[in-house]
Copies of this chain bind each other. A is one copy, B any other.
Protein backbone atom coordinates (compact mmCIF):
# COMPACT_ATOMS: atom_id res chain seq x y z
CA UNK A 1 0.00 0.00 0.00
CA UNK A 2 1.36 3.38 -0.93
CA UNK A 3 0.24 6.73 0.31
CA UNK A 4 -1.53 7.62 -2.96
CA UNK A 5 -4.14 4.92 -2.46
CA UNK A 6 -7.59 6.51 -2.05
CA UNK A 7 -8.79 6.72 1.47
CA UNK A 8 -5.37 7.00 3.08
CA UNK A 9 -4.04 10.11 4.80
CA UNK A 10 -2.96 13.19 2.90
CA UNK A 11 0.46 13.36 1.27
CA UNK A 12 3.29 15.08 3.09
CA UNK A 13 4.92 17.97 1.22
CA UNK A 14 7.92 15.76 0.46
CA UNK A 15 5.69 12.95 -0.89
CA UNK A 16 3.80 15.42 -3.09
CA UNK A 17 7.07 16.69 -4.56
CA UNK A 18 8.20 13.10 -5.22
CA UNK A 19 4.90 12.17 -6.88
CA UNK A 20 5.01 15.32 -9.02
CA UNK A 21 8.60 14.59 -10.11
CA UNK A 22 7.69 11.00 -11.05
CA UNK A 23 4.55 11.83 -13.09
CA UNK A 24 6.31 14.73 -14.86
CA UNK A 25 9.27 12.53 -15.88
CA UNK A 26 9.61 11.29 -19.47
CA UNK A 27 7.60 8.17 -20.43
CA UNK A 28 5.76 8.00 -17.10
CA UNK A 29 1.98 7.99 -17.46
CA UNK A 30 -0.63 7.24 -14.80
CA UNK A 31 -0.46 3.46 -15.29
CA UNK A 32 3.37 3.36 -15.25
CA UNK A 33 3.35 5.63 -12.20
CA UNK A 34 1.12 3.16 -10.43
CA UNK A 35 3.20 0.10 -11.38
CA UNK A 36 6.38 1.79 -10.20
CA UNK A 37 5.01 2.97 -6.86
CA UNK A 38 3.36 -0.38 -6.20
CA UNK A 39 6.60 -2.21 -6.94
CA UNK A 40 9.15 0.01 -5.28
CA UNK A 41 6.98 1.13 -2.39
CA UNK A 42 7.18 4.89 -2.91
CA UNK A 43 7.60 7.54 -5.61
CA UNK A 44 11.00 8.45 -4.10
CA UNK A 45 12.36 4.92 -4.48
CA UNK A 46 10.91 4.64 -8.01
CA UNK A 47 12.65 7.88 -9.03
CA UNK A 48 15.97 6.44 -7.88
CA UNK A 49 15.49 3.35 -10.09
CA UNK A 50 14.14 5.10 -13.22
CA UNK A 51 17.50 5.51 -15.03
CA UNK A 52 18.44 1.87 -14.54
CA UNK A 53 15.03 0.57 -15.71
CA UNK A 54 15.09 2.76 -18.82
CA UNK A 55 18.63 1.64 -19.65
CA UNK A 56 17.59 -2.04 -19.34
CA UNK A 57 14.71 -1.24 -21.69
CA UNK A 58 17.21 -0.08 -24.30
CA UNK A 59 16.67 3.69 -24.16
CA UNK A 60 18.73 5.39 -26.85
CA UNK A 61 19.36 8.32 -24.48
CA UNK A 62 18.23 8.64 -20.87
CA UNK A 63 14.75 10.17 -20.52
CA UNK A 64 14.45 13.43 -18.63
CA UNK A 65 13.70 13.03 -14.94
CA UNK A 66 11.84 15.97 -13.43
CA UNK A 67 14.15 17.68 -10.93
CA UNK A 68 13.13 18.57 -7.40
CA UNK A 69 13.69 22.21 -8.32
CA UNK A 70 11.28 22.04 -11.28
CA UNK A 71 8.67 20.27 -9.17
CA UNK A 72 8.96 22.92 -6.43
CA UNK A 73 8.64 25.66 -9.06
CA UNK A 74 5.44 24.05 -10.48
CA UNK A 75 3.94 23.70 -7.00
CA UNK A 76 4.70 27.35 -6.25
CA UNK A 77 3.20 28.52 -9.57
CA UNK A 78 0.11 26.41 -8.88
CA UNK A 79 -0.15 28.02 -5.46
CA UNK A 80 -0.17 31.49 -7.05
CA UNK A 81 -3.04 30.47 -9.38
CA UNK A 82 -5.01 28.80 -6.61
CA UNK A 83 -4.47 25.33 -8.09
CA UNK A 84 -4.04 22.42 -5.67
CA UNK A 85 -2.28 19.26 -6.83
CA UNK A 86 -4.26 16.48 -5.16
CA UNK A 87 -3.72 12.73 -4.95
CA UNK A 88 -6.51 10.11 -5.03
CA UNK A 89 -8.14 9.94 -1.62
CA UNK A 90 -7.44 13.56 -0.72
CA UNK A 91 -10.34 15.94 -0.19
CA UNK A 92 -11.24 17.47 -3.55
CA UNK A 93 -10.08 14.50 -5.63
CA UNK A 94 -13.31 13.21 -7.26
CA UNK A 95 -14.00 9.84 -5.60
CA UNK A 96 -15.26 8.14 -8.79
CA UNK A 97 -12.14 9.24 -10.67
CA UNK A 98 -9.91 7.42 -8.17
CA UNK A 99 -11.58 4.14 -9.28
CA UNK A 100 -9.86 4.27 -12.66
CA UNK A 101 -6.72 2.33 -13.62
CA UNK A 102 -5.38 5.46 -15.23
CA UNK A 103 -6.53 8.00 -12.63
CA UNK A 104 -4.11 10.95 -12.58
CA UNK A 105 -1.65 10.47 -9.68
CA UNK A 106 -1.89 14.22 -9.11
CA UNK A 107 -4.88 16.27 -10.27
CA UNK A 108 -4.72 20.05 -10.55
CA UNK A 109 -7.85 21.39 -8.84
CA UNK A 110 -8.96 25.01 -8.87
CA UNK A 111 -12.11 26.25 -7.20
CA UNK A 112 -14.43 24.78 -4.61
CA UNK A 113 -13.44 21.24 -3.66
CA UNK A 114 -16.93 20.35 -2.46
CA UNK A 115 -18.21 20.46 -6.07
CA UNK A 116 -15.88 17.56 -6.85
CA UNK A 117 -17.04 15.46 -3.91
CA UNK A 118 -20.77 15.57 -4.83
CA UNK A 119 -22.52 13.27 -7.35
CA UNK A 120 -21.56 14.40 -10.86
CA UNK A 121 -23.27 13.95 -14.23
CA UNK A 122 -21.32 14.78 -17.40
CA UNK A 123 -23.04 16.46 -20.34
CA UNK A 124 -21.22 16.56 -23.69
CA UNK A 125 -22.09 17.17 -27.34
CA UNK A 126 -21.43 19.00 -30.57
CA UNK A 127 -19.58 22.27 -30.76
CA UNK A 128 -21.79 23.34 -33.68
CA UNK A 129 -25.02 22.39 -31.97
CA UNK A 130 -28.50 23.35 -33.17
CA UNK A 131 -30.66 25.82 -31.28
CA UNK A 132 -32.82 22.93 -30.09
CA UNK A 133 -29.75 21.04 -28.86
CA UNK A 134 -28.44 24.06 -26.94
CA UNK A 135 -31.85 24.65 -25.41
CA UNK A 136 -32.20 21.02 -24.37
CA UNK A 137 -28.68 20.99 -22.88
CA UNK A 138 -29.61 24.02 -20.75
CA UNK A 139 -32.89 22.51 -19.59
CA UNK A 140 -31.31 19.19 -18.70
CA UNK A 141 -28.35 20.78 -16.86
CA UNK A 142 -30.73 23.03 -14.90
CA UNK A 143 -33.05 20.15 -13.95
CA UNK A 144 -30.17 17.88 -12.92
CA UNK A 145 -28.65 20.77 -10.94
CA UNK A 146 -31.94 21.30 -9.11
CA UNK A 147 -31.97 17.58 -8.32
CA UNK A 148 -28.60 17.99 -6.59
CA UNK A 149 -26.16 16.88 -9.27
CA UNK A 150 -23.01 18.75 -10.27
CA UNK A 151 -22.59 19.05 -14.06
CA UNK A 152 -19.21 18.23 -15.61
CA UNK A 153 -18.26 19.18 -19.15
CA UNK A 154 -15.32 20.19 -21.31
CA UNK A 155 -15.75 24.00 -21.54
CA UNK A 156 -16.00 23.72 -25.35
CA UNK A 157 -18.27 25.82 -27.53
CA UNK A 158 -21.81 24.57 -28.14
CA UNK A 159 -23.34 21.93 -25.87
CA UNK A 160 -20.52 22.07 -23.27
CA UNK A 161 -20.87 25.82 -22.71
CA UNK A 162 -24.70 25.59 -22.61
CA UNK A 163 -24.50 22.87 -19.93
CA UNK A 164 -21.97 24.84 -17.84
CA UNK A 165 -23.93 28.10 -18.12
CA UNK A 166 -27.20 26.52 -17.00
CA UNK A 167 -25.56 24.97 -13.93
CA UNK A 168 -23.37 27.85 -12.71
CA UNK A 169 -25.63 28.39 -9.71
CA UNK A 170 -26.13 24.71 -8.82
CA UNK A 171 -22.52 23.70 -9.38
CA UNK A 172 -20.47 22.78 -12.43
CA UNK A 173 -16.98 21.44 -13.14
CA UNK A 174 -14.86 22.28 -16.19
CA UNK A 175 -12.48 19.52 -17.22
CA UNK A 176 -9.53 21.07 -19.07
CA UNK A 177 -7.37 19.54 -21.79
CA UNK A 178 -4.50 21.99 -21.19
CA UNK A 179 -2.89 23.62 -18.17
CA UNK A 180 -4.95 25.77 -15.83
CA UNK A 181 -3.30 28.85 -17.33
CA UNK A 182 -4.06 27.86 -20.94
CA UNK A 183 -7.85 27.96 -21.20
CA UNK A 184 -9.29 26.76 -24.52
CA UNK A 185 -11.19 28.33 -26.13
CA UNK A 186 -9.88 31.56 -24.60
CA UNK A 187 -13.28 33.24 -25.02
CA UNK A 188 -14.55 30.92 -22.24
CA UNK A 189 -12.13 32.30 -19.61
CA UNK A 190 -14.93 34.51 -18.33
CA UNK A 191 -17.39 31.59 -18.09
CA UNK A 192 -14.75 29.62 -16.19
CA UNK A 193 -14.20 32.41 -13.66
CA UNK A 194 -17.96 32.77 -13.20
CA UNK A 195 -18.55 29.08 -12.57
CA UNK A 196 -15.67 28.95 -10.06
CA UNK A 197 -16.86 32.10 -8.30
CA UNK A 198 -20.32 30.50 -7.92
CA UNK A 199 -18.93 27.40 -6.19
CA UNK A 200 -17.75 25.23 -9.07
CA UNK A 201 -14.31 24.02 -10.03
CA UNK A 202 -11.87 23.33 -12.88
CA UNK A 203 -9.59 20.30 -13.06
CA UNK A 204 -6.60 19.35 -15.22
CA UNK A 205 -3.90 16.70 -15.12
CA UNK A 206 -1.58 18.69 -17.38
CA UNK A 207 1.24 20.95 -16.17
CA UNK A 208 0.85 24.71 -16.17
CA UNK A 209 1.77 26.19 -19.51
CA UNK A 210 0.60 23.14 -21.47
CA UNK A 211 -1.24 24.34 -24.58
CA UNK A 212 -3.89 21.72 -25.49
CA UNK A 213 -3.43 19.98 -28.84
CA UNK A 214 -5.75 17.64 -30.76
CA UNK A 215 -4.50 14.45 -29.10
CA UNK A 216 -4.98 15.92 -25.61
CA UNK A 217 -8.77 16.00 -25.97
CA UNK A 218 -9.47 12.24 -26.16
CA UNK A 219 -7.11 11.83 -23.16
CA UNK A 220 -8.98 14.59 -21.31
CA UNK A 221 -12.34 12.99 -22.18
CA UNK A 222 -11.59 10.02 -19.90
CA UNK A 223 -11.61 12.50 -16.99
CA UNK A 224 -15.00 13.97 -17.99
CA UNK A 225 -16.61 10.53 -17.77
CA UNK A 226 -14.26 9.45 -14.96
CA UNK A 227 -15.50 12.03 -12.45
CA UNK A 228 -19.16 11.26 -13.29
CA UNK A 229 -21.78 8.64 -12.51
CA UNK A 230 -22.87 8.86 -16.13
CA UNK A 231 -22.43 10.79 -19.35
CA UNK A 232 -25.25 12.37 -21.36
CA UNK A 233 -24.49 12.87 -25.07
CA UNK A 234 -26.57 15.60 -26.74
CA UNK A 235 -26.27 15.94 -30.51
CA UNK A 236 -23.31 14.09 -31.92
CA UNK A 237 -22.64 13.37 -35.57
CA UNK A 238 -21.04 10.11 -36.71
CA UNK A 239 -17.36 9.86 -35.60
CA UNK A 240 -17.50 12.89 -33.31
CA UNK A 241 -15.44 13.42 -30.17
CA UNK A 242 -18.49 13.00 -27.95
CA UNK A 243 -18.79 9.42 -29.16
CA UNK A 244 -15.22 8.79 -27.98
CA UNK A 245 -16.26 10.06 -24.56
CA UNK A 246 -19.26 7.72 -24.66
CA UNK A 247 -17.08 4.73 -25.56
CA UNK A 248 -14.61 5.52 -22.79
CA UNK A 249 -17.49 6.03 -20.36
CA UNK A 250 -18.85 2.57 -21.17
CA UNK A 251 -15.37 1.04 -20.72
CA UNK A 252 -15.15 2.77 -17.35
CA UNK A 253 -18.48 1.24 -16.34
CA UNK A 254 -20.24 4.61 -16.40
CA UNK A 255 -23.88 4.95 -17.46
CA UNK A 256 -24.24 6.30 -21.01
CA UNK A 257 -27.25 8.43 -21.91
CA UNK A 258 -28.08 9.74 -25.37
CA UNK A 259 -30.65 12.23 -26.60
CA UNK A 260 -32.53 11.03 -29.70
CA UNK A 261 -33.21 13.03 -32.83
CA UNK A 262 -34.74 12.73 -36.25
CA UNK A 263 -33.09 10.24 -38.63
CA UNK A 264 -32.90 13.14 -41.08
CA UNK A 265 -30.79 15.25 -38.67
CA UNK A 266 -27.07 14.43 -39.10
CA UNK A 267 -26.41 15.91 -35.64
CA UNK A 268 -28.48 13.07 -34.16
CA UNK A 269 -26.81 10.25 -36.11
CA UNK A 270 -24.27 9.56 -33.35
CA UNK A 271 -26.73 9.70 -30.47
CA UNK A 272 -29.27 7.49 -32.26
CA UNK A 273 -26.46 4.97 -32.87
CA UNK A 274 -25.53 5.07 -29.18
CA UNK A 275 -29.12 4.20 -28.27
CA UNK A 276 -29.09 1.32 -30.77
CA UNK A 277 -25.95 0.09 -29.01
CA UNK A 278 -27.60 0.20 -25.59
CA UNK A 279 -27.32 3.75 -24.28
CA UNK A 280 -30.35 4.97 -22.33
CA UNK A 281 -32.69 7.10 -24.43
CA UNK A 282 -32.95 10.42 -22.62
CA UNK A 283 -35.61 13.08 -23.03
CA UNK A 284 -35.69 14.49 -19.51
CA UNK A 285 -33.70 14.64 -16.27
CA UNK A 286 -35.78 11.82 -14.75
CA UNK A 287 -34.32 9.37 -17.28
CA UNK A 288 -30.86 10.13 -15.90
CA UNK A 289 -31.83 10.29 -12.25
CA UNK A 290 -33.75 7.00 -12.33
CA UNK A 291 -30.75 5.23 -13.85
CA UNK A 292 -28.04 6.60 -11.54
CA UNK A 293 -29.94 6.58 -8.24
CA UNK A 294 -29.44 2.83 -7.69
CA UNK A 295 -25.66 3.14 -8.17
CA UNK A 296 -25.15 6.30 -6.09
CA UNK A 297 -25.04 4.38 -2.85
CA UNK A 298 -22.78 1.69 -4.27
CA UNK A 299 -19.31 1.71 -2.68
CA UNK A 300 -16.43 2.74 -4.90
CA UNK A 301 -14.63 -0.17 -6.51
CA UNK A 302 -11.14 0.79 -5.38
CA UNK A 303 -8.19 -0.24 -7.45
CA UNK A 304 -6.32 -3.26 -6.21
CA UNK A 305 -2.80 -2.01 -5.49
CA UNK A 306 -1.21 -5.43 -5.99
CA UNK A 307 -3.00 -6.74 -9.06
CA UNK A 308 0.02 -6.37 -11.33
CA UNK A 309 3.19 -7.48 -9.55
CA UNK A 310 6.57 -6.84 -11.14
CA UNK A 311 9.60 -9.17 -11.09
CA UNK A 312 12.79 -7.90 -9.50
CA UNK A 313 15.11 -8.86 -12.33
CA UNK A 314 14.20 -10.37 -15.71
CA UNK A 315 17.21 -12.05 -17.41
CA UNK A 316 18.44 -11.14 -20.88
CA UNK A 317 16.85 -14.29 -22.37
CA UNK A 318 13.42 -13.14 -21.11
CA UNK A 319 13.97 -9.70 -22.62
CA UNK A 320 15.01 -11.08 -26.01
CA UNK A 321 12.07 -13.47 -26.18
CA UNK A 322 9.52 -10.77 -25.34
CA UNK A 323 11.12 -8.27 -27.75
CA UNK A 324 10.83 -10.87 -30.52
CA UNK A 325 7.10 -11.15 -29.88
CA UNK A 326 6.53 -7.39 -30.05
CA UNK A 327 6.18 -5.32 -33.18
CA UNK A 328 4.35 -2.29 -34.52
CA UNK A 329 1.06 -4.23 -34.60
CA UNK A 330 -0.65 -4.05 -31.18
CA UNK A 331 -0.94 -7.40 -29.35
CA UNK A 332 -2.94 -8.28 -26.28
CA UNK A 333 -0.93 -8.31 -23.05
CA UNK A 334 -2.61 -11.61 -22.13
CA UNK A 335 -1.56 -13.20 -25.44
CA UNK A 336 1.98 -11.90 -24.94
CA UNK A 337 2.18 -13.49 -21.49
CA UNK A 338 0.97 -16.82 -22.87
CA UNK A 339 3.33 -16.78 -25.84
CA UNK A 340 6.36 -15.66 -23.81
CA UNK A 341 6.32 -18.86 -21.76
CA UNK A 342 7.46 -16.99 -18.66
CA UNK A 343 5.75 -15.47 -15.64
CA UNK A 344 3.33 -12.55 -16.00
CA UNK A 345 5.46 -10.59 -13.55
CA UNK A 346 8.52 -10.87 -15.81
CA UNK A 347 6.54 -9.82 -18.91
CA UNK A 348 5.12 -6.79 -17.08
CA UNK A 349 8.57 -5.78 -15.86
CA UNK A 350 10.09 -5.98 -19.33
CA UNK A 351 7.18 -3.93 -20.73
CA UNK A 352 7.71 -1.33 -18.00
CA UNK A 353 11.38 -1.07 -18.87
CA UNK A 354 10.53 -0.65 -22.56
CA UNK A 355 7.92 1.96 -21.70
CA UNK A 356 10.38 3.96 -19.60
CA UNK A 357 12.83 3.73 -22.49
CA UNK A 358 10.20 5.35 -24.70
CA UNK A 359 9.97 2.27 -26.93
CA UNK A 360 6.55 0.86 -25.97
CA UNK A 361 3.06 2.23 -26.52
CA UNK A 362 0.03 1.14 -24.49
CA UNK A 363 -3.34 1.22 -26.28
CA UNK A 364 -6.83 0.77 -24.87
CA UNK A 365 -8.14 -2.70 -24.16
CA UNK A 366 -4.86 -4.17 -22.87
CA UNK A 367 -3.05 -3.82 -26.23
CA UNK A 368 0.66 -2.93 -26.51
CA UNK A 369 2.98 -2.27 -29.45
CA UNK A 370 6.51 -1.09 -30.14
CA UNK A 371 6.86 2.53 -31.20
Query: Which residues of A come within 8 Å of B, CB atoms?
Result: 132, 135-136, 259-265, 268-269, 272, 275-276, 281-284, 287
18 contacts between A and B (CB under 8 A): A132-B264, A136-B264, A259-B262, A259-B263, A260-B261, A260-B262, A260-B263, A260-B268, A260-B275, A261-B262, A262-B262, A263-B284, A269-B283, A275-B275, A276-B281, A276-B283, A276-B287, A281-B281
Assembled-state Cα–Cα distance A264/B265 (Å) = 14
Assembled-state Cα–Cα distance A287/B275 (Å) = 13
B contact residues around A276 at 8 Å (CB):
281, 283, 287
B contact residues around A283 at 8 Å (CB):
263, 269, 272, 276
B contact residues around A263 at 8 Å (CB):
136, 259-260, 282-284
| Minimum C-beta distance from A96 to chain B (A) | 26
B contact residues around A262 at 8 Å (CB):
132, 136, 259-262, 265, 268
B contact residues around A260 at 8 Å (CB):
260-263, 268, 272, 275, 281
Assembled-state Cα–Cα distance A114/B276 (Å) = 34
Chain B residue with the shortest CB-CB distance to A260: B260
Chain B residue with the shortest CB-CB distance to A264: B132
Chain B residue with the shortest CB-CB distance to A276: B281
Assembled-state Cα–Cα distance A135/B262 (Å) = 11
Chain B residue with the shortest CB-CB distance to A133: B262
| Minimum C-beta distance from A138 to chain B (A) | 11
Assembled-state Cα–Cα distance A265/B135 (Å) = 12
Assembled-state Cα–Cα distance A257/B261 (Å) = 15
B contact residues around A284 at 8 Å (CB):
263
| Minimum C-beta distance from A18 to chain B (A) | 50
Pairs A-B, 6 closest by C-beta atoms: A260-B260, A263-B283, A132-B264, A275-B281, A261-B262, A272-B283
Assembled-state Cα–Cα distance A259/B269 (Å) = 12
* B264 close to A135 (CB less than 8 A): yes
| Minimum C-beta distance from A351 to chain B (A) | 41
B contact residues around A264 at 8 Å (CB):
132, 135-136
Assembled-state Cα–Cα distance A135/B287 (Å) = 29
B contact residues around A282 at 8 Å (CB):
263
B contact residues around A132 at 8 Å (CB):
262, 264
Chain B residue with the shortest CB-CB distance to A273: B283
B contact residues around A135 at 8 Å (CB):
264
B contact residues around A281 at 8 Å (CB):
260, 272, 275-276, 281
Chain B residue with the shortest CB-CB distance to A269: B283
Assembled-state Cα–Cα distance A136/B269 (Å) = 14
B contact residues around A268 at 8 Å (CB):
260, 262
Assembled-state Cα–Cα distance A275/B263 (Å) = 14
Assembled-state Cα–Cα distance A268/B136 (Å) = 14
Assembled-state Cα–Cα distance A132/B262 (Å) = 8
| Minimum C-beta distance from A132 to chain B (A) | 5
- Identify the interface centre among A264, A269, A284: most chain B CB within 10 Å of its CB: A264
Assembled-state Cα–Cα distance A269/B281 (Å) = 12
B contact residues around A272 at 8 Å (CB):
260, 281, 283
Chain B residue with the shortest CB-CB distance to A140: B263
B contact residues around A269 at 8 Å (CB):
283
In the complex, besides A136-B263, A136-B264, 5 extra interface pairs with C-beta distance below 8 angstroms are A132-B262, A263-B283, A269-B283, A272-B281, A276-B287
| Minimum C-beta distance from A214 to chain B (A) | 29
